[in-house]
Amino acid sequence: MASFQKTEAGRNLSLVVKDAYMDLHERAARGAFVIWIAINVPAEIFLGFDDVVYGVPESHAALNAAKGIGALQCEKAERIGYSMDLCSYARIDIGCVSDNFADSPTFGLPRPHLLVSNTNNCSLLTKWFDVHHREMGVPHFILDVPFCYGPQQEKDREYIVAQFHDLIRVIETMSGQRCDMEKVKQAVAYTDEGIGWWKKFLGYAEHRPSGITAFDSFVQMAPFLVARGTPRFVEHYRLLAKETGARAAAGDVPVPDEKYRLFWDNIAPWHQLRDMSAGLAALKANIVGATYTSCIGSVEGSFDRYPYDGGDPLAMLARTQNCYVCPHGMALRGKAMAQAVKRLGIDGIVFAGNRSCKPYSLTQFDQQRKMAQALGVPSVMIEVDHADVRKYNRENTFTRLEALIENIGMQRSVRMSA
């Protein structure tokens, strides 16, 4: 089962997250310019300023869910009129703000001077940030990132870069600080180096039995939200990759008797990580990879790292704006998934239909059919909600997961007797 608690990298992860939240609160209290950003907004830009800090409401919401208080926070938003059908990240965040982060495990986020969202993933996100814009009277900058049905076009990249320049001008005007592009460049280089180690860590899933579970990788994503663009980001992922490699070489792997290698499609079910990884390990199954964690630092249609050439940092940040899966069309998502399925020797795919994240989930039935036709890999559709435990049913989920494992076993028997 997931082993992150026992490792040096697991302990370091807790420190990185704790220090990041403490630093955010302390610097905000001393007068730093505070920005709330959507998960895909490139924080490396803010590191070009001397005293700009940022908080990520989606990441804070995921932390609430992982700590078991996602539903509590969602209910606060529902009580003031927000529909239960809305994304649970939005409900958790709006619920948290409604009572000034009363139950937050991080003492919340400091009040922002600016909100920055983008259109990469979904239209709900910009509307959610607009709620804060109206309620708090804080300006809202929206980065418009074109949807991608194919590789990003040059004109789209230029369009995104132009908006980065606009964003920098807005921050300079509002904060009275100057952006040093050399610092941004250094931050992009740190992120790139850290992603190199991240990809190495994910690569241990190719071992048999796998050196990692996707559950470990879900948890280990946190530094991307709180520390990217810093030396600490690099140090953490170097530690993670090296420690994982050493443990795998010594035979210390999460599911030693691994018989079924599975792949996960969608956001992590933050409230079920421990239970799901233990339940699967008991069935000798391991979710060894996930679209959600593999896409970081890649470009559309692939999960391979897109390296920084040391040139214009804003062009690099624009080129990787589409790395996350949601804005990809069917063909690109299928291409990247097929590559991972082959590389990792996947026996079955778990499509986790997510009641909250419609953009991630909408094409999954088509993708499921496509993967069966193209690769002959069995799969199952389960129902989850990444942060609202009220929309999850353990019994139904494990019945379907067991059916998938049975199906894989039957296909193996047929192949062996042929």
Interacting residues toward ligand SF4 by CB under 6 A:
87, 89, 121-122, 124-125, 267, 326, 356-357, 359-360
Q: Considering the complex, state which of residue 84 and residue 181 has its C-beta at the smaller distance from ligand SF4.
A: 84
Q: Considering the complex, state which of residue 281 and residue 336 has its C-beta at the smaller distance from ligand SF4.
A: 336
Q: Do residues 268 and 291 make contact, with C-beta atoms less than 8 angstroms apart? A: no
Beta bridge partners of 260: 285
3-state secondary structure of 290: strand
Query: Least distance to ligand SF4 from the beta carbon of 358, Å?
Result: 6
Query: Least distance to ligand SF4 from the beta carbon of 4, Å?
Result: 22
Query: Least distance to ligand SF4 from the beta carbon of 122, Å?
Result: 3
Query: Least distance to ligand SF4 from the beta carbon of 126, Å?
Result: 9
Q: Considering the complex, state which of residue 47 and residue 56 has its C-beta at the smaller distance from ligand SF4.
A: 56
**C-alpha of 256 from chain center:** 27
Query: Least distance to ligand SF4 from the beta carbon of 352, Å?
Result: 12
Query: Least distance to ligand SF4 from the beta carbon of 300, Å?
Result: 16
Q: Which residues lie below 8 Å from residue 351, measured CB to CB, with a gap of 6+?
A: 265, 266, 364, 365, 367, 368, 379, 380, 381, 382
DSSP state for residue 4 in the 8-state scheme: G
Query: Least distance to ligand SF4 from the beta carbon of 266, Å?
Result: 9
Task: Provide the pairing of β-strand 52-55 with 33-37.
Answer: parallel
DSSP codes of every residue in 109-137: -PPPSEEEEESSS-HHHHHHHHHHHHHH-
3-state secondary structure of 58: helix
Nearest to 384 by CA among 374, 396, 376, 375: 396
Assigned token pair, 361: 């989930």
CA 61 to CA 65: how far, in whole Å?
6
Q: Checking phi first, is residue 306 left (phi over 0); if not, alpha (psi -120 to 50) or beta?
A: beta
Query: Least distance to ligand SF4 from the beta carbon of 326, Å?
Result: 5
Q: Considering the complex, state which of residue 34 and residue 125 has its C-beta at the smaller distance from ligand SF4.
A: 125
Q: Considering the complex, state which of residue 223 and residue 359 has its C-beta at the smaller distance from ligand SF4.
A: 359
3-state secondary structure of 55: strand
Q: Considering the complex, state which of residue 125 and residue 380 has its C-beta at the smaller distance from ligand SF4.
A: 125
CA separation (Å) from 169 to 31, 49, 325? 20, 12, 29
Q: Considering the complex, state which of residue 118 and residue 213 has its C-beta at the smaller distance from ligand SF4.
A: 118
3-state secondary structure of 76: helix
Query: What ranges make up the beta strands (E) of 150-225?
Result: none
Q: Considering the complex, state which of residue 98 and residue 177 has its C-beta at the smaller distance from ligand SF4.
A: 98
HSE-CB for 372 with a 13 A CA cutoff: 16
Q: Considering the complex, state which of residue 121 and residue 367 has its C-beta at the smaller distance from ligand SF4.
A: 121
Q: Do residues 245 and 39 make contact, with C-beta atoms less than 8 angstroms apart? A: no
